[in-house]
Structure 1
């Protein structure tokens, strides 16, 4: 089985995340993509909404998508989340006979050589890099796949700012996610 792994803060998940997942799923003909909201991030100190709320938003965003599952593997951890640890855990859960594809943005690829055990990540998986505005590449390796994905002009920061300013986010997130954010009074 060909399994994609897409981790992120998803604070909140938005239409660009969804578009990238669907594009990569089809383009690489993956059997499954696992969406993993980060628990305690290793590289940033952002104040993020509670993990279970972000997980629920991801579930709402991908509801009905058979090949896309949302995992709480990092949210359940009390320790800092590192990609290599999550990858090893997923390999132990699904089996090493599968092919694993770590999905990252070009902004992350730019600093990939600074990631914990990045060489081991490249040994255990392929790293799929999608385009991000203002970035150009990163390291080159036989197990890094650069995809010419569509560029989206959406960010979670933009959404949070719109909410703080009482502006509509209906064009940036799925309706169910917008309703969840509103009913839980998030990002105000």
Structure 2
């Protein structure tokens, strides 16, 4: 037990150090301090014990709260497949949290009675605060999609901005109260309004046009192929353009900042690992930490599409210069340039990556989403863990060859050089 204790203590100490060093932890601590200072100043509650306790709780719990909000939204998306459902999944837990916080502060005498009454009491304050929070978090997600920040940290920034405005607004400070109400209802209205319009477009979409299918495809599996066949049939599409993620934007920034590295090659997959610089409050691997190189994923898509007899309906695009600088927003702009005045559709799943794609296409104009609920248990995650029978014959063949890391891979009449999992066609 003593030896085990010696081994465990340094590991625990290391986790604590990484947690304390985390930018998200420091930002949360600042959020707790800001909560105290804002409400103490606005409501004259400098020595109120309830406000002090609430502020300490906020400072300690905020990183976990941000993660839980993201997970609640993801769960609702997976259950229902509607943007509005996902946003309600994020909204309702936060509303419940704010109701409890405002009730406690009102009960503990930390709030100005007249000020809180002017915004509809503790329930009104909680509602407006939550709406404003949703709006600022939506803006945070907008920036994440463009490579600015990450989901958890941007969520925290939105919450912190909202704290100051809520404190002044609930105190009835002239102009601050009006700004608090306007920001809450306007940003909240936009947050739910944009999602509702997206859901309507997904259900009343006209037929014809071109589809755009984005994702990691890590690797391309049977459900991907079935989705393509179904969307082409149901939306009567001329073709679908597939563009795989090269390196997820979250990982681009993490590699650049020294938070991640490629640790090893495992069965043809590059295994990403966190370094000591990694932020302990950031989920770097929402879809796993094993990735086939983008060149290999592109080759697998082409091979599977050809085997499935869909080559005349599928175009596999690969715009590394555009994607690396402008992400999928740039890829969409390029497709619009190539196909002006053409109706665009966007098939996607309800997993993390699929709903992120949905958010991106919703921000890029009047594009018609096509959403499918994932209920068949076929997933790239399961395949990476060793599941069999989920990929077409040609993909299965390539993955089996890559697991041996040979110098060349031959499949479907095509020969590829293999450089540690990177497939390049040719001798």
Q: Does TM, normalized by the shorter one, top 0.5? A: yes
Q: Of Structure 1 and Structure 2, which has the larger fraction of its residues in strand?
A: 1
Give deviations 1:66-85, integer Å, cap 9, x for gaps. Answer: 11121112x45562663322
Q: Distance in 2 between matches of 1:58 and 1:111?
A: 21
Q: Which runs of 4+ in 1 moved over 6 A?
A: none
1:47-86 pair list within 5 angstroms: 47-63=290-306, 64-65=309-310, 66-73=312-319, 75-77=320-322, 79=324, 82-86=327-331
**Structure 2 regions of 5+ residues with no counterpart?**
1-207, 252-283, 406-420, 422-427
State the SS of the aligned residue for 1:62.
Answer: helix
Q: Of Structure 1 and Structure 2, which has the larger fraction of its residues in helix?
A: 2
Give deviations 1:63-119, integer Å, cap 9, x for gaps. Answer: 03111121112x455626633221111111222x11111222223575678x45x65
1:102 paired to 2:320 = no
State the SS of the aligned residue for 2:330.
Answer: helix
Change beyond 3 A, Cα 1:181–1:107: closer
Q: Distance in 1 between matches of 2:400 and 2:221?
A: 15
Question: Between Structure 1 and Structure 2, whose CA radius of gyration is higher?
Answer: 2
Residue 17 of structure 1: aligned partner: 224
**Higher RCO (CA < 8 A, seq sep 6+):** 1
Give deviations 1:113-166, integer Å, cap 9, x for gaps. Answer: 8x45x6532x2411221113xxxxxxxxxxxxxxxxxx321111100111xxxx
Q: Distance in 2 between matches of 1:84 and 1:11?
A: 21
Aligned residues: 159
Contact 2:216/2:244 (CA < 8 Å) preserved in 1? Answer: yes
| Counterpart among 372, 379, 382 of residue 130 in structure 1 | 372
Q: TM-score, normalised on structure 1?
A: 0.73
Contact 2:247/2:294 (CA < 8 Å) preserved in 1? Answer: no
- Structure 1 residue 8: Cα displacement: 0.8
Q: Distance in 1 between matches of 2:314 and 2:294?
A: 18
C-alpha RMSD over aligned residues: 2.7
Q: Distance in 1 between matches of 2:318 and 2:357?
A: 24
**Structure 1 regions of 5+ residues with no counterpart?**
133-150
| Counterpart among 172, 182, 187 of residue 400 in structure 2 | 182
Q: TM-score, normalised on structure 2?
A: 0.34
Q: Distance in 2 between matches of 1:50 and 1:81?
A: 20
Residue 4 of structure 2: aligned partner: none
- Most deviating of 58-67 and 101-110: 101-110
Contact 2:214/2:357 (CA < 8 Å) preserved in 1? Answer: no
Contact 2:323/2:330 (CA < 8 Å) preserved in 1? Answer: no
